[in-house]
Amino acid sequence: MGSFAGHIDEGIAFIILALWWMVNIFRESLKTNHQPELYHSQISYTIRIKGKVVPLEIFLKILFPLGGFAAEIIDAKTFVNEDGNFSNLSDLQHTTIYMLFVIHGITDLLAHYRLPQIKNANYFTMIVSFLWYGTAFYFHSEPGMGKPPLENMIHRLPIPFTLLTSCAVLIEMNQRNAVLPQLLRCFCVLTLGTWFTYSSFVLFLPYPFPGSHHNPAWDQDDERNVHFIVAAFGIHLIVNLTFMMTSYIVMVVYRKLFVNSRDLTDENSMCKYKILDNNVDDLDYDDSVYKDDAV
C-alpha cells in the first residue's frame, strides 16, 4: 500500500461505500419519518436488478480486500529475508487489515443467505476490523518504522475515526431503530475515504503506475507541512459534514417533488433497492417482503 495506487484505491472504495450507505440510510429514514419506531438499521444494503435481489455491496466487500491482500503478498514476495530476519513488515501489517475485512464480508454474506453462524457476527467482525485498522495504523506510524513526520501524521490523524466507526457499529448492533449511529459510521468512513484519496496526492506522484515515487512538492520533514496537514484533516471534516447535511436536504426536496407523486411499486423499474435484514435468527424468511418494499 506504500504507493499512490495503494492509497487512492482504498480511499475511493471507502467513498463509494459511504455514499451508498448514506443514500440508503436517508431513504429508509425518510420512509419512516412519521413513524421512527419502524426504522430498522442495516449493516449492508442489497440492490434489486430485474426482479432479483443481489447483495452487490457484500460481494465487493469481499473481493476488494481480497485484491488488496493479494497485491500486498505479490509486492512483498517474502516477509523473511535471506538472512532469516523479518522484512516488509508494513506489507505484513496491511495483509492483516485486508483479511479481517474479508472475514467481515464473509459473515455478512452468511447473514444475507441465512446460513448458520453466531448471532450478529457480521456486526462483530466489522467492529474488530475497524479496531484493528486503527491499531495497525498507530504502530505503522511509529518513529521506529522509519517514516518521515508528514507521512506519520497523515496515518495518525484518521485513527480516532476508525475507532469511532467501531463504536458506532457497536451501538447499531444494540439499537436497531436509531439512525444517528449509522450516520456516524457513514461520516467516519466517508472521511477516511476522502482523506486517503487526498493524501495519496500529497505523498506520491500518480505516475508512473503504481506511483511509488514521493511527491517532491511536499517536504515530508518540514514541520510546517506537518501542521498544515492537521488543518487539512479538519477541512475534510467540515466539507464531509456539510456534504451529508446538504445531501439530506436535496433528497427531502427530491422526494417531495418526484417520488411521492408516482407509484413507488412500479414493477417496470429495472433497478430497485431494498434494505438487507441481517437478523440470522429470523427463520421465517419470506422473499416476498422485497417485492412489497421495493422502490
Distances (CA, A) of 87 to 77, 80, 109, 273: 10, 5, 35, 46
Cis peptide upstream of residue 55 (ω within 30 degrees of 0): no
Q: How far apart are CA 23 and CA 251, in angstroms?
A: 9
Residue 265 pLDDT greater than 80, yes or no? no
Mean pLDDT score across all residues of the chain = 86
Q: What does the alpha-carbon distance between residue 159 and residue 136 come to, in Å, rounded to a whole number?
A: 9
State how many domains the chain has. 1
Classify 49 as helix, strand or coil: strand
What range does the domain containing 130 cover?
4-293
How far, in Å, CA of 293 to CA of 245, rounded?
26
pLDDT in tens, 197-231: 999 999 999 988 888 889 999 999 999 999 999 99
Whether the pLDDT of residue 275 is over 80: the answer is: no
Mind listing the pLDDT tens digit for each residue in 130-167? 999 999 999 888 777 778 999 999 999 999 999 999 99
Task: Give the sign of the dihedral formed by CA 219, CA 225, CA 226, CA 230.
Answer: negative
The neighbour count for residue 51, using CB atoms within 10 Å, is 12
Determine the average pLDDT of the residues in 21-36: 90
Choose among 121, 113, 38: nearest CA to 276. 113
The answer to which of 24-33, 131-140, 276-285 has the lowest mean pLDDT is 276-285
* Helix (H) or strand (E) run with residue 45 in it: strand 45-49
Residues in the chain: 295
Per-residue pLDDT, 6: 85
Using 50, 70 and 90 to split pLDDT, how confident is the model at 37?
confident
